Amino acid sequence: MTAALRFGATERSAAELEDRGRRLAGGLAALGLKEGDVVAVLLRNDPVYFDVIHACRIGGFTYCPVNWHFTPAEIGFLVSDSGARAIIGHADLLAAAGEVLPQALPVLAVGATLAAGLQDYEGWLAASGRYAGPVVSPRGHMAYTSGTTGRPKGIVRQAVPLGEAEASQQRARAVAEIAFGIKPGCRALIPAPLYHSAPSLIAQMALQQAELVVLTQRFREEEVLELIEEHRIDVVYLVPTMYVRLLKLPAETRARHDLSSLRFVASTGAPCAPQVKRAMIDWLGPVIHETYASSESGMITVIGSQEALARPGSSGRPIGEARIAILTEDGRDCATGEIGLIYVRQPAYPDFVYRNQPDARGKIDRDGLITLGDMGYLDPDGYLYVCDRASDMVISGGVNIYPAEIEHALVRLPGVLDCAVIGIPDDEFGEQLLALVLPEPGATPVPAELAERLRQTIAGYKVPRRIEIVDALPRDDNGKIAKRRLRDAYWAKSGRQI
């Protein structure tokens, strides 16, 4: 089955999507791209993304989604480091990137353009012949993740031999059904940016199996509810920040929409605060699912609504043959309930290397399992609990404090759109907590009032001594708040790093 697409007023049948994908694959092959070559994609959410996904499955290319919020220098680095042989992007984004794009690179522009060196995508696609090359093993995206230190790293999965491709795809589809609810005939809504790893993967899987995929340009709270009702959506991908924004809608607005078609709400990317998850379950019923995953590992655990209510804060148990180990820094197995570094492996996905960084993969490996620096523990029944990243943990007065818990409480408060809690130098305690709060449009939260409200939900020692209101929060290539950049501004002045 191949899905149909709905994007605003644009509707494309499964046959149209297949034809456009084959023409794109044929056009890229005519430009000289071969199996395994990379196409950089600098697009906002757009139906052209689905052309790219189909073309990569057909021609064996890999697409590298580039966060369009990046500076020209950051865009230039990803395009160059990925080894892209062509780039497809919105005309205004390409024009803004300017001279950072390699001069010899074929550039296909989506939307009106008069800029020199940019070729009109739609005209070029219409003139391209359908792919007539050899049958190859399908490819997907090459995500970039910066982790906690160093420059961004491109994740390159090992190629699956053509004879093993179908079995590999079946394993991946089985994991996607458990983690994201994607299965044959489903109707999926994706209101998240496709340059992120999880929405990109969901789009790939949904295009293979869904009856309909509805894509939005950006996340708008009430539009999500309208689309679920209009298209009888049964699967939607949301992240915890979206949960919070949806829950802040007036009760009468939420009640106005028929959401009874929902079968599976999938979430990953950040741990969900237990009280937020409970509120979502109270509203929508037992359809909320959370997955612990990463671009490197794929989906590792999942937890459904009933389990989440019984085990607040858990990210669930392993999916399929996934393995989890909690280890100390020197490699000792942690006892049940003891916090340590989370090491994982999901055999449903081929192994990977980091693009142009041959030593980086080995640094996170221990006996075939990998860690991204997340801290957590396993309970007696094998349920995973994620506390925070090792690099984000704050030690104040000898006490370990995990900012994620504080952030979960902060973002629930009125007037708070997003936030980041970091540790900054303190002469007496070593570190103190600083909360940077991004207010909702039109809101003017008062730091002292936020602190007082926090004391009603978390222990006093976890309430940040400083709360500052900010206009923006910097983000890494994966869309997460760039805490390292926030911390560096404070630690650079202290003469120490911890």
Q: What is the mean pLDDT of residues 404-430?
A: 86
Question: In the numeric block, which tokens belong to residue 498?
Answer: 């911890």
- Residues 110-149 pLDDT 10s: 997 666 668 899 999 999 999 999 999 999 999 987 544 4
- The pLDDT, as a whole number, for residue 450 is 96
* Mean predicted lDDT score pLDDT of the chain: 90
**pLDDT over 80 (residue 477):** no
Could you give the CA distance from residue 164 to residue 355 in angstroms, rounded to a whole number?
24
Amino acid of residue 447? P
Tell me the β-bridge partners of 292. Answer: 301
- Compute CA distances 383 → 28, 58, 319, 331, whole Å: 46, 39, 11, 20
Beta-carbon contacts of residue 375 (< 8 Å; ≥ 6 apart): 339, 340, 341, 342, 386, 387, 388, 389, 390, 393, 402
Share of the chain above pLDDT 90, in %: 69
235, β-bridge pairs: 188, 264
| pLDDT value at 170 more than 90 | yes
Question: Which two structure tokens, joined as six digits, stand for 252?
Answer: 């009468």
What DSSP designation does 481 have?
B
Residue 252 CB coordination number (10 Å): 7
Q: Domains in the chain, start-ordered, CATH in brackets? A: 4-142 (3.40.50.980), 169-389 (3.40.50.12780), 394-491 (3.30.300.30)
**pLDDT of 470 higher than 90:** yes
Q: Which pLDDT score is estimated for 398?
A: 63
pLDDT at position 19, please? Answer: 97
Q: Packing angle between helix 48-59 and helix 14-30, nearest 10 degrees?
A: 60
Predicted confidence at residue 495, as pLDDT, reads 46
Supply the pLDDT for residue 244.
84
Give the CA distances from residue 68 to residues 90, 227, 492, in Å, rounded to whole numbers and listed in that order: 9, 25, 29
Q: Residue 460's pLDDT is what?
A: 85
The DSSP string of 24-81 is: HHHHHHHTT--TT-EEEEE-SS-THHHHHHHHHHHH--EEEE--TTS-HHHHHHHHHH
- Residue 404 to residues 146, 236, 369, 389, 460: CA-CA distances in angstroms? 19, 24, 24, 9, 16
Q: Answer whether residue 150 shows pLDDT above 60.
A: no
- For residues 197, 198, 202, 204, the Cα torsion angle rounded to the nearest 10 degrees is 10
Predicted confidence band at 32 (pLDDT cuts at 50, 70, 90)? Answer: very high
Residue 462 confidence (pLDDT) above 70: yes
pLDDT in tens, 380-399: 999 999 876 767 778 776 67
Per DSSP, helices labelled H in 367-482 are: 403-410, 447-455
Nearest residue to 386 via CA among 323, 317, 314, 320? 314
DSSP state of 496: -
DSSP labels for 265-317? EEE-SSPPPHHHHHHHHHHH-TTEEEEEEETTTEEEEEE-HHHHHHSTTEEEE
> Could you tell me which residue, 226 or 240, shows the higher pLDDT?
226
Question: C-alpha distances in angstroms, 100 versus 37, 78, 168?
Answer: 20, 10, 37
What is the per-residue pLDDT across 58-110, written as a single tens digit (0 to 9) for each? 999 999 999 898 888 889 999 999 999 999 999 999 988 888 888 889 999 99
The continuous run of DSSP H or E covering 486 comes out as helix 483-491
Res. 496 pLDDT band, cuts 50 70 90: very low
Instruction: Give yes or no for residue 344 having a pLDDT over 70.
Output: yes
Q: What percent of the chain has pLDDT over 70?
A: 94
Mean pLDDT of 310-339: 94
Cut 0.85: pTM above it:
no
Instruction: Write down the pLDDT at residue 498.
Output: 47
Output the CA–CA distances (angstroms, integers) from residue 391 to 268, 287, 395, 484, in the order listed: 20, 33, 11, 8
